[in-house]
Structure 1
Amino acid sequence: MGRSKFSVNSNFRYSILTKTFSFELPTQVPAEADSDGNTMPTDLKSLLAAVYRRFWLIALSFLAVFSLVAYMTFNQVPLYKASSIVQLDTEQQNVIDLGSVLSGLAVSTAVIDTEVMIMKSKSLLTKVAVKQKLVEDPEFNWTLREPETSVLGSLSDSFLGFLGVDTTEEDPFEGMSVDERENALLESAVAKLMGSVGVSRVGTTYLINVEVTSESPETAARLANAIADQYRVQQLETKLDATRRATEWLSDRVFALREEVEEKENRVAKFIADNDMETAMGNTLTEQNIAYLTTQKTQAEVELNRVRSRYDSMRRQIDGGAGVDGISEVLESPLITSLKQQLSTVRGRVGDLETRLGPQHPELIGARAEQADIERQIENEMNRIATNLENEVRVRRDQVGRLQSQINNSNAKLRGNSLAMVRLRELERDAETSRVLYEEFISRSKETREQDGLVQPDAVILSQASVPKHPSSPRTKLNLLIGAILGGMLGAGLALLAELLDMKISSTEDIEKKLRQNAIGSVPLIRTTNALGFTQTNPAEYLIENPLSAFAESVRYLRAAIAFSDLDSETKTVAITSSLPDEGKTSLTLALGRMSAMSGARTLVIDGDFRRRQLTEAAGLKPEVGFIEYLFGAGQLSDAIAKDPKSMLDILPLSLTGHTPHDVFGTRAFDDLLVRLRSMYDLILIDTGPLLLMAEARVVAGKTDKTILVVRWRHTTRAAARQSLALLKSFQADLLGVTLNMVNLNRRRHYSDPGASYDAYRKYYQMESKPSLFSFMRGGSKKSKSGKIQPTAIQTPPSLADHKTGAAEKVDAN
């Protein structure tokens, strides 16, 4: 779709004074496309534009984080790391397995991880700290260090002192005895050592790596070797102590267990004799009988199920009307087989007789009787077989019942001896446990005295730590790289947050994509240069003094948009409004009116902002009879309309002393006035109040031919613009489009505005020339006659740049 609602693909001509101008407006503006004709995405451009806009935020964030990391890196004390490798001995033989008291290390991940924790335990490192006299080392004893001063520390102390906080350090050992002081220093040294030691398993091997980090390379190597040695010594001490205690304990237990086993075995024998509980094959006779009966019952149940299945199958086949050939149980009977053969023979003879003799022939009747007799015999045989199966089912069921009765009797007898059996088993288990334990202790006691490898440690030092030549930290290049990455990430995050929180309208692209409205021009911000800097000037005055400037061109484009807004009917009344005050609506209305008047069109501007009357003040008018007075019969229209001497523009101002009644634009008088003014003027511009604050602005927008919504660049929020558009829609206003006003051309290039990158247009508008006042040719800005006004760097309005492709302007002399 095209960028403007009024775009057509035809030529239009209109006359201004003595010149005729021809415009060819494109129906659409082509999007950027690649070499294959596909539309190119603008995400990368938007991203680069966002980076450009937030450059200083990103740069400051990057510099802050990078500087902090660099400061910390270059002020960090160099640390050295030394490592010693210990190999766990996996070939140790277990001597006794009583809780693994004297065993070697088992080969498992859990055991190796346990040994890793032991090597960096506080108890082992305390022994290392005592042997290596770390309390005398300033690195591990903070009381021996010289006080350090740093920039951050000085600033922190100064800040705390400014807040009234006492920064003097108190003696932490105050009130302690000498022994307590030594213990506290040792605890401090051990804590420092624990923070400097790292113990880890090497992959999935049986190797353990011991790393120590220190400010001194010699200290790092010395402590790494000392920890590995202390680990082996501790293993050896543990085994020696375990061997001594195990030998003493085993001897005492063997003697006690021997007597205990004899006593418990005698108790079991006496209990069996007293309760007449003889056993065979480890079970009582009652239990064996129950087991036998249970087996017999299981077999009988299997036979019962088999016979019952046969009987049920045959009964279902008989009840279902199956013939003798369809019952499996009948087919196995020899008698049935013989009867079937006889029946087949008789049936053949009956068939033969039926074909030769009459139905009442005695021979045929006899053959049929014989056939019926054979069929009865077959049926009787089938019933007999079924009865036999039923009897067999009954017999099997009785057999299962008898076996179950016998089992119940045996169980009742067994329950009678249950208390005695429980007690007997308890005595037997107790005696067996003591016997097994006694035998184990005898065996292990002999092995303990004979095995020499018991007092060998389970680890060997595979690699001694060497003195490192280069520090392990700080890693300057890596830290600086991380600082740069973190700084960039922080800057990017803050820039993204700033972009997400930015709800202001910055370009015509925002109007078209985010507001989904036509953008009809981008009006630049006009400034003058003086000794104090940049100050704003009256745009309507600037238009008169610089008719060939970019500002004048943007107003001229806006007038063309109104002229070609509706080709079917003439647009005469236009309401120019904004969402909130101070968005440049009044200045733009006055400038647009002057441009229309200078172009030769009969133009009237109405000041419809009753609260502020800014248009009247901007035009330099102080009328006694104005718009309100005429509307309510206090004066004539000719007395109320003032003439602008600089542009022949007619202005219907507001008097400074007039009373403003309510609902001015909703009256019949205003409707009549619009009808009258339509016959008098070619274009009527109404400067309304803000839409979100004034109800009158919404009413007048619904009564005019077109409405233009003015939004201020980087000032109006999208929420306010959307609310204004919703109000215009609710009042059925015919919106011509949205105009971006007061665009700072020096800063516009920071935002994704299509016209921001056309440097050639800037040069074009800065050209010195003397064109005609009413020419539509683009030209450069020039100084005013007073020589005071000098515009800043000017670029083409984005709407003109957007319509550059396919647009042609022709200037023909009459």
Structure 2
Amino acid sequence: MQLHNRDFQRNWRVDDTDDDKSPRGIDFEAIFAIVRRQWLVVAVCIAVALALGVVNIITAVPLYTASTKILIDRGNSEVVQQLSTIGGVTDDEPTVLSQVELLMSDTVALTVVDKLDLSNDPTFMTARPSLIQTIMGTVRSLVTVTGWLGSKPADIPTSEEKRRAAADAVLANMSVMRVDRTYVLEVSYRSPSADMAARVANAIGDSYLVDKLNSKYDATRRASDWLQDRIAELRQKALDSDLAVQKFRGEHGLVAAGSVLMSDQQLSELNSALIVAQSDTSKAQARLERIENIIASGQSDAMVTDLLDNPVANELRQKYLAASKRETEISDRLGSSHIQAARLRSEMAEYQRQMFAELNRIAESYKSDLDVAIAREKNLTQSVSQATGVSATANLTQVQLRELEREAETYKNLYQTFLQRYQEAIQQQSFPVTEARIITNAVPPAGPSHPKKPLTLALFFLLGAAAGASVGGWREYRDRFFRTGKQVQDYLGLEFLGMTPLVVNAAGRAKSDVQQKPGLIQKTSPLVTYVVEHPLSPFAETLRSAKIAADLRFSDKPCKVIGVVSSLPAEGKSAISINFAELLARQGSKTLLIDADLRNPGTTRAIARHADAGLLEALLDGQDLDRLLLSDDATGLSVLPAVVRQRTPHSSELLASSGMRGLLKKVSEQYDYIVVDLPPLGPVVDARAIADRVDGFIFVAEWGATARRVAIEVLNANPQVRDKCIGVILNKVDQDRLKLYHDYGSNDYYYSRYSRYYHESS
């Protein structure tokens, strides 16, 4: 039966939370519930904040704001950049933002102070604080520990300190803002005086322009001074490097004609002459070989060029040809043996001999020319070799020479460049142009700009709302108590039996003449008879739910022993025990109520304060139980009180003793229900000691007071009680506040519909 009931509870919880498994975003229902619960806190904080805002508006010193506008002029900047790159500014966004920082600098502020003599202006140096500022100053002085020990008299400030204080005041009350994405800066100053605001705003603009001019002049002056020193240094280095080049040329004989060294030019000429000499040698060799071949072959008709130009050779050839012609004619006419023909052939032989002699003479001339050409070629070859060695040496030396020449050229160019920059810097010093100008001068404002009443009230409203939301959120975060039955099921995993509303006790004792008789209980408060006097109330309905749960779970037992426990004292478990027992008795069941809280017997104090003996006497002295019982003649309820005259340190042993076992066994044969009011689970272990003798437990938790963590821990520490727990009752429920914790669709949400079934009157 117990396992079946757990499965029923688990399945019911799963079915109840099926809707929660659907994906959803923000839990607006939870947010609205928090708003319903904490709206009063938020409203109070907003009201207090608005009151402070009104006080601030009433007591605030009116302030006037004057503005001047400064344009970062691109035209002037371009003129300056054309004249010189020194001190030029590019008008990009970082540059504009840099000008904002310049306007907010101490340099401009001190210039304004000196220009307007603000450090000696009493109107400017003394400001009337508002009421809130006065209060804050007073509080600050009170919380300052050093002020408690007494303060030494303040020193008279020096002129420089006053000047710095005035500059700080200027910076504190001025603001600089860029107008949209333009190159315009709006400088605003706030002061209690409209004229003072306009004067200071205009002075800030003028000081800014003067500072720009001074900074440009200083920059160009510093640049020209640096350039002058650098030029002198570069001039000397250019001279030294040029002198080193010339000296190196002289030491290594690197004489040049124009851009070409003399050694290279001489080598080129010798190479050209050598080529010509080699050609001449080849030509002479060819002529000599040709004429020698002619002479060796004896060819009289072979000719050479020099032979044709030789008059002697030409004359001999003419004579040879004439004799040959005549010899041929005589031989043809008179025969070859004719004496005249023979004489002519003799002459022809002589002419031929003379011709070859002339050829030999020419050959000797060719041979002489060949020897001359060979000698010249040899000499030129030797000269070229010598010149090549000289040129190679010069080329190796030229590497160092070229390095010296490059260094000299570099210093020369640097010197010329810096000299030009120096001239430009000199001109720049006397050129009074800045890249900024004032386009709108400040005028005294017609009305105050502070305080802005709507904005101030809106700000205080938001601050109050934020403070209220923070306080409300903190209260919600700290509210970790049981408020709804769903929380009981989610955190404890136990069946929720219902809620018993908070009952305000009537003053004095309940009036009943019958209760004064011996052997009857005496009800000291209407609370202990509430279920009898209001049988149709929600209080009684919750206890009926507990009875049904017990009957369903222990239907096979003729007598049901039900213990009532809680986590902590003062949660109302004794009141629940008495009313639950009276409900059972009123419904016709024989019921016994046992006060087993031997350390703090709340049931006995409520209905049996007059008893002189009870549970302790039954267990320790073995007194007759019938004599110890008290009864209620209205319901027939029997009560076994606990009369504690001194502390009982061994109460858990008494409840776990065989005497207690025997007592429960005996009364189980006489009653249908035995309700045992047990001590709370947190402070003592008495409930754990008697857990095996109790059929089921009703766990009582005070609504809005019992922390969920405490209930979870005590139940986890007492598994026997948890396993036998019939369900949980939330006691002392504030019905007015309960509706603030209702979830849409929950059982409590529809309380207004089914509350007609409840009636507080009997």
* TM range, smaller chain: 0.5 to 0.7
Match status 1:153 vs 2:134: yes
What whole-Å deviation, never above 9, does each CA across 1:78-119 have from its counterpart, x for those lacking one? Answer: 23131212232232154775xx54x54344445444444444
**Aligned 8 A contact 1:606 1:651 in 2:** yes
Aligned with residue 620 of structure 1, among 576, 592, 608: 608
Question: Where do 1:431-470 residues align within 5 Å?
Answer: 431-440=408-417, 443=420, 454-470=431-447
Give the distance between the partners of 2:151 and 2:115, measured in 1 at CA.
35
Give the match for residue 87 of structure 1. Answer: 72
Q: What's the offset of the Cα at 1:236?
A: 4.4
**Structure 1 residues 120 and 135: alpha-carbon distance in aligned structure 2, compared to 1, 3 A threshold:** same
**Structure 1 residues 697 and 247: alpha-carbon distance in aligned structure 2, compared to 1, 3 A threshold:** closer
Secondary structure at 2:735 match in 1 = coil
Kindly, what percent of the aligned residue pairs are identical? 26
**Aligned 8 A contact 1:95 1:451 in 2:** no
Aligned with residue 525 of structure 1, among 488, 497, 502: 502
Give the distance between the partners of 1:41 and 1:224, measured in 2 at CA.
53
**Aligned 8 A contact 2:67 2:186 in 1:** no
Give the distance between the partners of 1:445 and 1:140, measured in 2 at CA.
47
Match status 1:173 vs 2:156: yes
Gaps of 5+ in 1: 10-25, 175-179, 286-409, 765-776, 783-814
Q: What's the offset of the Cα at 1:740?
A: 1.4
Give the match for residue 480 of structure 2. Answer: 503
What amino acid sits opposite 1:702 in the alignment? D
Secondary structure at 1:686 match in 2 = strand
Instruction: Give the aligned CA root-mean-square deviation in angstroms.
Output: 4.8
**Aligned 8 A contact 2:62 2:448 in 1:** no
Question: Where do 1:556-571 residues align within 5 Å?
Answer: 556-567=544-555
Secondary structure at 1:131 match in 2 = helix
Give the distance between the partners of 1:282 and 1:725, measured in 2 at CA.
110
Match status 1:665 vs 2:660: no
What whole-Å deviation, never above 9, does each CA across 1:707-765 have from its counterpart, x for those lacking one? Answer: 11111223322222112322442467421001112223344444448548745666x5x
Q: What's the offset of the Cα at 1:569?
A: 5.3
Q: Quick check: which one's helix share is greater?
A: 2
Aligned with residue 49 of structure 2, among 65, 83, 86: 65
Secondary structure at 2:635 match in 1 = coil
Give the distance between the partners of 1:150 and 1:427, measured in 2 at CA.
82
What whole-Å deviation, never above 9, does each CA across 1:594-649 have from its counterpart, x for those lacking one? Answer: 22112111111222222233323433265566434444672334334333333211
Deviates more, 1:445-454 or 1:569-578: 445-454
Deviates more, 1:246-255 or 1:206-215: 246-255
Give the match for residue 493 of structure 1. Answer: 470
Question: Where do 1:307-706 residues align within 5 Å?
Answer: 428=405, 431-440=408-417, 443=420, 454-529=431-506, 537-567=525-555, 572-620=560-608, 626-631=614-619, 634-656=622-644, 663-706=653-696
What amino acid sits opposite 2:759 in the alignment? G
**Aligned 8 A contact 1:711 1:738 in 2:** yes
Aligned with residue 245 of structure 2, among 262, 268, 273: 268
Give the distance between the partners of 2:198 and 2:550, measured in 1 at CA.
87
Give the match for residue 781 of structure 1. Answer: 761
Give the match for residue 111 of structure 2. Answer: 127
**Aligned 8 A contact 1:706 1:735 in 2:** yes
TM-score, structure 1 normalization: 0.62
**Aligned 8 A contact 2:488 2:728 in 1:** yes
Give the distance between the partners of 1:239 and 1:704, measured in 2 at CA.
98
Match status 1:744 vs 2:707: no
**Aligned 8 A contact 2:198 2:444 in 1:** yes
Give the distance between the partners of 1:185 and 1:69, measured in 2 at CA.
34
**Structure 1 residues 218 and 430: alpha-carbon distance in aligned structure 2, compared to 1, 3 A threshold:** farther
**Structure 1 residues 751 and 76: alpha-carbon distance in aligned structure 2, compared to 1, 3 A threshold:** farther
What whole-Å deviation, never above 9, does each CA across 1:109-130 have from its counterpart, x for those lacking one? Answer: 4544444444443333433333
Give the match for residue 388 of structure 1. Answer: none
Larger Rg computed on CA atoms:
2
What amino acid sits opposite 1:54 in the alignment? Q
Give the distance between the partners of 2:599 and 2:616, measured in 1 at CA.
12
**Aligned 8 A contact 1:160 1:166 in 2:** no
Give the distance between the partners of 2:726 and 2:6, measured in 1 at CA.
8
Give the distance between the partners of 1:282 and 1:700, measured in 2 at CA.
123
Match status 1:708 vs 2:698: yes
**Structure 1 residues 502 and 680: alpha-carbon distance in aligned structure 2, compared to 1, 3 A threshold:** same
Give the distance between the partners of 1:624 and 1:761, measured in 2 at CA.
46
What amino acid sits opposite 1:517 in the alignment? L
Give the distance between the partners of 2:598 and 2:259, measured in 1 at CA.
118
**Structure 1 residues 92 and 570: alpha-carbon distance in aligned structure 2, compared to 1, 3 A threshold:** farther
Give the match for residue 355 of structure 2. Answer: none
**Structure 1 residues 503 and 461: alpha-carbon distance in aligned structure 2, compared to 1, 3 A threshold:** closer
What amino acid sits opposite 2:471 in the alignment? L
**Aligned 8 A contact 1:577 1:707 in 2:** yes
Secondary structure at 2:676 match in 1 = strand
Secondary structure at 1:539 match in 2 = helix
Q: What's the offset of the Cα at 1:29?
A: 12
Secondary structure at 1:736 match in 2 = strand
What whole-Å deviation, never above 9, does each CA across 1:147-187 have from its counterpart, x for those lacking one? Answer: 6674662685599689985999955426xxxxx53x44333
Aligned with residue 725 of structure 1, among 712, 715, 718: 715
Gaps of 5+ in 2: 263-388, 509-523
Give the distance between the partners of 1:448 and 1:158, measured in 2 at CA.
60
**Structure 1 residues 5 and 232: alpha-carbon distance in aligned structure 2, compared to 1, 3 A threshold:** same
What whole-Å deviation, never above 9, does each CA across 1:13-63 have from its counterpart, x for those lacking one? Answer: xxxxxxxxxxxxx989997999xx999999544444433433443233323
**Structure 1 residues 47 and 206: alpha-carbon distance in aligned structure 2, compared to 1, 3 A threshold:** closer
